[in-house]
Amino acid sequence: APLIQRLDYQQPPFWIRKVDLSFDLDPAKTIVTSKMQVERNRAVPHGPLRLHGEELNLLRALINGAGVSFRQEGHELVIDNPPDDDFALEIRNTIAPEKNTALSGLYTSGGSFFTQCEAEGFRRITYFLDRPDVMAVYTVTLRADAAKYPVLLSNGNLTDSGTLENGRHFAVWHDPFPKPSYLFAVVAGDLVAREQRVRTRAGKDHLLQVFVRRGDLEKTEHAMNSLIASIVWDEARFGLPLDLERFMVVGVSDFNMGAMENKGLNIFNTAALLASPATATDADFARIESIVAHEYFHNWTGNRVTCRDWFQLSLKEGLTVFRDQEFSMDMAGSASARAVCRIQDVRQLRALQFPEDSGAMAHPVRPDSYSEINNFYTATVYEKGSEVVRMYQTLVGRKGFEAGMKLYFERHDGQAVTCDDFAQAIADANPGSALATRLDAFKRWYSQAGTPRVKAHGEHDAAARTYTLRLAQHTPATPGQPTKLPQVIPVVMGLLDRHGAALALNAAGDTETVLVLDQAEQTFVFENIDAEPVPSLLRGFSAPVVLDDGLSDAALLVLMRHDSDPFNRWEASQRLALNRILHALRAGQPLQLSPVFIDAMRGLLNHPELDAAFKELALTLPGEAYIAEQLDVVDPQAIHAAVMAAQQQLASALRDDWAATFETNQIAGGYTPDPVSSGKRALANLALSMLVLDAQATGDTVWPGKAYQRFKDASNMTDRLGALAALVNAGAELAQPALERFHALFKDDALVIDKWFALQARAPESEGRVFARAKALTKHADFTLKNPNRARSLLSSLCMFNPAAFHRADAGGYVFWAEQVLAVDAINPQLASRIARAMDRWSVLAEPYRSAAREAVARVAAKPDLSTDVREIVERALA
C-alpha cells in the first residue's frame, strides 16, 4: 500500500455539497442509491473525478440522468470527463453487510444493522469523496422489513416515515449540518430506547435517546445521566450548547473501538455504554461517563469544526480527550478527587504512550505519513495530544484558554481545519502570552516524536541566599527523526523547606510558579532562600516528559508527606518504590524493601486525612510496562520477579495495617459509583488482595476463605470482581471454584464474561500456568475472534498487558501471537493490527526474548496476503 504523506495534501478537485442516500436494507444484499450534487473546485487544476470505493458491487453510474463512461482503478472509480458545470451524479451499488466482519462500513451485529465510517468506512458503503474536507448535507431514506427492523435511524431529524408493501417500512432523515462522510451513520434493528427531554440554557427543548437491545434498558441509566451532565458541563465551561433537536446514542456488541461521534447518532460499544451495579465495576462506571462525554464533546470539537485531513486527527482527538479529562475532574469534585483523576490519566499515558513514543511506532502527535490511517488512532494522537492541549492551558491560563476556544469557533465553525489553525487561535486570543511569544517552538510538540527528558539540578548558595535551578532537556531519536530541537516545556513548580513548608518564590510571596523551559539548557534563580530547599517540579504533571530531578529518598519523603500538590505526593511514593525495584534489577540482586520504605508506606496507608482513592494509587506499585520503560535492556521475567517480591514484602510487612484498612473501608448501604465510595472499594480490594497474597505465602486459610465469602456475597461487581481477583492473582486454591461459580452466574452476560477471560489472561504469571490457561481458553466454547471485545479480553490481555506470561524463554508466547494475529487478520484487520502492536518494543528485550520475538515478527511479515493494517505494523517493527 502506498505511503500517504502529510505534505502531499491537496484540496479535492470536486466538492460534493448535497447527498440523497437511500438504503434497501437486507443483510445479504443491501442496495445503496446515492444522488450527489457535485461541483468543480476551481482552486485546483482540472482533473478527473476519482471516487473512493471498496468491496462494492456497482450497478450503475449516471451523470445528469444519463449513462457515463467510467473505469475502476484499484479502489477508485474514475470518471475522466465530468461536466465543467455543477452536475448530479447518481450511483447505485450493492453491499453484503452480513459478510462484513471487518466492522467498517455497514455491518450486522446481533441481527441489527450498524455503520462505522471513521476513518474510511464510508467508501465501503458507496462510492464517494471519502475525505474529511468534503462536507455535504445528507438526506437518508431507509427501507427495511418492519418486523425485524422496527427502528430505523440516521443522522439529524426524522422528516418522514411510513409503511411499504411486503411488510417493509421506511424512514427519512435529514441532517441540516454539512458533515464529512466519516460522521455518517445508520442503525436499523429491533431496539428499545431510554428517553429524556431536556431544556438547555437558551430555552430550547431536546430529545435524548439511548437505544439498546431489549433487556438492556435498565443498564442505560448511567449513560443517560452522563450525557445530561456532559451537556450541562459543555455549556457552562465552554459556552457550547447542544445544537440538535434530537441526540441519539446506540449500543452495539460488535465494535472496533469504544464509541463513535456520528453527528446526532453516536454509536457505542456496549462495553462503553451499559452499566448496572451487579455487572459493572466502579472503573466501568467512570469509563462510561468519560466516553459518553468524549463523544458528546466531539459535537463541537470534531463535528462543527472538523479535520482538514487525517494527519490533523489530534486536532479533534487530543482536544476532545482534554475536554473529557477536564469534565471528569470537574465531576469528581474535591481537590483530592480531581488529583486522583489526574494521576489515573498520567498512569495511562506512561503505561501506553511512553512506550509507544520510544518504540517502532513512535510518531508525532501530527504524523507525517501513514499507509493505514486506522493505525494512527494511537495513545500519541489521543493522550499525548491531550497533554499538548493541557500545556496551552497552562501557558495562557484557564481564562485565556477559554478565550482561545471561543476564537477558534468564531473563526472555524463549519470548516475542516488544521492543528496550526487551532494553535493560532489560542495564541491570537492571548497576545504577549508565554505561548504567543514562542508559538513556532511550541508547535514542535506536533512535529517531533519522542518523550523529552528533563534533567534538573539545584544548587543552594548559603551566602547569597539563592537557589539556582538548572533545567536541561533532550529528546531521544525516534524512527525517521535522528535529531530534535528544544521543546517548550511548562514546568509548574514550588520549593519546600526540609520540614515540608512551602517557600515564597518571589517578592510577591507566590509559592507556585510556571517556569518555561524553551532552550536546551536554562537556569532559574530564586532569591531569599535560607537553606537547601526540596524542589517540587512538574506539579500536576505539567508536561509529558520524563523528569530526572536526582532527588534523594529523604527529599522524596518530604514531598510524599508534605507537598501541597497531590500529584507530586503520589509521584514521590511511586519514585520511592521505583528506585528500589530498579536498584535490584540493575544490581541483579533480589529485591529487599528497607524499613524506611515500609514505614513510609505504612504512614500513607494509615494517614488520617488522605482519601482512600489516593491511598490506593500510592500503595499500588508502578506497572511492569512503566518499569520496563526505565531500562535500556528489558528482561520481563526479572521485572515481574522484582515486582512480585516487592508486593509480597509489602503484603507481609503491613499485614495488620491491611487488615485494619480492609475493615475500615467497608461501605454500608446501597451502591453508588461516586468518587468517595469507589475510592473505599478500591482500597478495600487492594487490602484484600494483599491479605490473600500474604496468606498464600504463610499457609493461612482465613483470608482466602474471607475473600471467597465476599466473592459469593458481594452486592456489586466491584466487590465481587475484587475478591475474585484477589484469589486468582494469588493463585489460591479457591480461585478455581470461584471462577466456575462466576461463569455460571454470568454466562448470559457477554460483558461480564469478557471480564472472566481478561482476569485469567492478566493474572500474575507463575511457572507458565497463566500462559497455559490463556492458550486453553482460546478453545473455550465462549471464545470467538469475531467479537472484538471477546478477542481483546483474552489476546490483548495476555500479549499486551501480561508481559511475564507473554515473554517466555521457549518463545511460546510469540508463536501464539503470530497464529492469533494471522487468524484475526483474516476476519478483522483493525483488530489484528492492534494485537500486532504487542511486538512494537521487541528490540529492547534481553536475549533470548529479543531474537525469538524478531523471528516471530518476520514470520508474520513474510505472509503475502496480510492486510495493509497489519503489514504497516510489522514492517515498522522490523525497520
Question: H-helix or E-strand containing 73?
Answer: strand 71-73
Report 626-645 residues binding ligand HT7 (CB under 6 A).
Answer: none
State whether residue 197 is helix, strand or coil: strand
Task: Show the CA angle centred on residue 284, arms to residues 246 and 713, nearest 5°.
Answer: 125
Compare residues 118 and 289 and give the one whose CB is closer to ligand HT7. 118
Q: Out of Zn ion, ligand HT7, none, which partner does residue 260 contact, by CB within 5 to 8 A per kind?
A: ligand HT7
Using CA atoms, how far apart are residues 708 and 86, in angstroms rounded to an integer?
Answer: 72
Give the closest residue to 612 by CA, choosing from 531, 671, 682.
682
Q: Give the shortest CB-385-to-ligand HT7 separation in angstroms.
A: 11
Q: Out of ligand HT7, Zn ion, none, which partner does residue 256 contact, by CB within 5 to 8 A per kind?
A: ligand HT7
Compare residues 26 and 261 and give the one whose CB is closer to ligand HT7. 261
- The amino acid at 696: Q
Q: Does 220 bind ligand HT7 (CB under 6 A)?
A: no
Compare residues 288 and 491 and give the one whose CB is closer to Zn ion. 288
* Whether the Cβ atoms of residue 577 and residue 621 lie closer than 8 Å to each other: yes
Q: Give the shortest CB-829-to-ligand HT7 separation in angstroms.
A: 12
Q: Does 256 bind ligand HT7 (CB under 6 A)?
A: yes
Q: What does the DSSP 8-state code read for residue 289?
A: H
Q: Which of 100, 109, 115, 116 binds ligand HT7 (CB under 6 A)?
A: 116
Report 19-48 residues binding ligand HT7 (CB under 6 A).
Answer: none
Question: In this structure, is the dihedral angle defined by the CA atoms of residues 856, 857, 862 and 865, taken in order, positive or negative?
Answer: positive
Position of minimal CB gap to ligand HT7: 257
Compare residues 257 and 425 and give the one whose CB is closer to ligand HT7. 257
Q: Does 119 bind ligand HT7 (CB under 6 A)?
A: yes
Exposure class string for 8-36: b at 16+ Cβ within 10 A, else e: eeeebbbbbeebbbbbbbbbeebbbbbbb
Q: Give the shortest CB-298-to-Zn ion separation in angstroms.
A: 6
Compare residues 26 and 317 and give the one whose CB is closer to ligand HT7. 317
* Whether the Cβ atoms of residue 344 and residue 617 lie closer than 8 Å to each other: yes
Return phi, psi of residue 275, to 5°. Answer: -150, 135
Compare residues 291 and 653 and give the one whose CB is closer to Zn ion. 291
Using CA atoms, how far apart are residues 292 and 269, in angstroms rounded to an integer?
Answer: 11
The C-alpha torsion from 355 through 360 and 365 to 367, rounded to 10°, is -170
Residue whose C-alpha cell reads 462543527 in the numeric block:
304
Q: Give the shortest CB-306-to-ligand HT7 separation in angstroms.
A: 11
* Whether the Cβ atoms of residue 116 and residue 788 lie closer than 8 Å to each other: no
Q: Does 869 bind ligand HT7 (CB under 6 A)?
A: no
Q: What does the DSSP 8-state code read for residue 402?
A: H
Using CA atoms, how far apart are residues 449 and 220, in angstroms rounded to an integer?
Answer: 40
Cell numbers placing 252 = 452495539
Q: Does 732 bind ligand HT7 (CB under 6 A)?
A: no
Q: Out of Zn ion, ligand HT7, none, which partner does residue 118 contact, by CB within 5 to 8 A per kind?
A: ligand HT7
Compare residues 89 and 259 and give the one whose CB is closer to ligand HT7. 259
* Whether the Cβ atoms of residue 57 and residue 88 lie closer than 8 Å to each other: no
Q: Does 155 bind ligand HT7 (CB under 6 A)?
A: no
Q: Does 290 bind ligand HT7 (CB under 6 A)?
A: no
State whether residue 622 is helix, strand or coil: coil
Q: Binding-site residue total for ligand HT7 (CB under 6 A)?
A: 13
Q: Does 114 bind ligand HT7 (CB under 6 A)?
A: no
Is residue 295 part of the annotated active site? The answer reads yes
Exposure class string for 67-80: b at 16+ Cβ within 10 A, else e: ebebeeeebbbebe
Q: Give the shortest CB-657-to-ligand HT7 separation in angstroms.
A: 42
Q: Give the shortest CB-390-to-Zn ion separation in angstroms.
A: 16
Report 317-346 residues binding ligand HT7 (CB under 6 A).
Answer: 317
* Whether the Cβ atoms of residue 506 and residue 460 lie closer than 8 Å to each other: no
Q: Give the shortest CB-260-to-ligand HT7 separation in angstroms.
A: 4
- Which of 54, 118, 120, 295 is an active site residue? 295
| 538 exposure class (CB count in 10 Å sphere: 0-12, 13-18, 19+) | buried
Compare residues 118 and 872 and give the one whose CB is closer to ligand HT7. 118
Q: Does 184 bind ligand HT7 (CB under 6 A)?
A: no
Q: Does 361 bind ligand HT7 (CB under 6 A)?
A: no
Axis-axis angle for helices 612-619, 335-348 (nearest 10): 30
First-to-final CA distance of the chain: 16
Using CA atoms, how far apart are residues 13 and 17, in angstroms rounded to an integer?
Answer: 13
* Whether the Cβ atoms of residue 249 and residue 292 lie closer than 8 Å to each other: yes
Compare residues 238 and 814 and give the one whose CB is closer to ligand HT7. 238
Using CA atoms, how far apart are residues 12 and 190, in angstroms rounded to an integer?
Answer: 39
Q: Does 614 bind ligand HT7 (CB under 6 A)?
A: no
Q: Look at phi and psi of residue 775 and say left if phi exceeds 0, alpha if psi is from -120 to 50, else beta.
A: alpha
Point out which residues pair with 548 in neighbouring strands.
455
Q: Give the shortest CB-312-to-ligand HT7 separation in angstroms.
A: 13
Report 293-322 residues binding ligand HT7 (CB under 6 A).
Answer: 294-295, 298, 317
**Looking at 253-261, 505-513, 576-584, 813-821, which segment touches ligand HT7 (CB under 6 A)?**
253-261
Q: Out of ligand HT7, Zn ion, none, which partner does residue 357 contact, by CB within 5 to 8 A per kind?
A: none
Compare residues 299 and 542 and give the one whose CB is closer to Zn ion. 299
Report 412-451 residues binding ligand HT7 (CB under 6 A).
Answer: none
CA atoms within 13 A on the CB side of 643: 23
**Looking at 114-122, 150-158, 544-552, 728-736, which segment touches ligand HT7 (CB under 6 A)?**
114-122
Q: Which of 257, 556, 557, 605 binds ligand HT7 (CB under 6 A)?
A: 257
Q: Applying CB under 5 A, which residues contact Zn ion?
A: 317, 320
Q: Which of 20, 26, 54, 118 binds ligand HT7 (CB under 6 A)?
A: 118
Q: Give the shortest CB-295-to-ligand HT7 separation in angstroms.
A: 5
Q: Does 534 bind ligand HT7 (CB under 6 A)?
A: no
**In this structure, are strands 112-116 and 57-63 parallel, antiparallel, or unpaired?**
unpaired
Q: Give the shortest CB-261-to-ligand HT7 separation in angstroms.
A: 5
Q: What does the DSSP 8-state code read for residue 478?
A: B
What residues are annotated to the active site?
Answer: 295
Footprint of ligand HT7 on this chain (CB under 6 A)?
116, 118-119, 256-257, 259-261, 294-295, 298, 317, 377
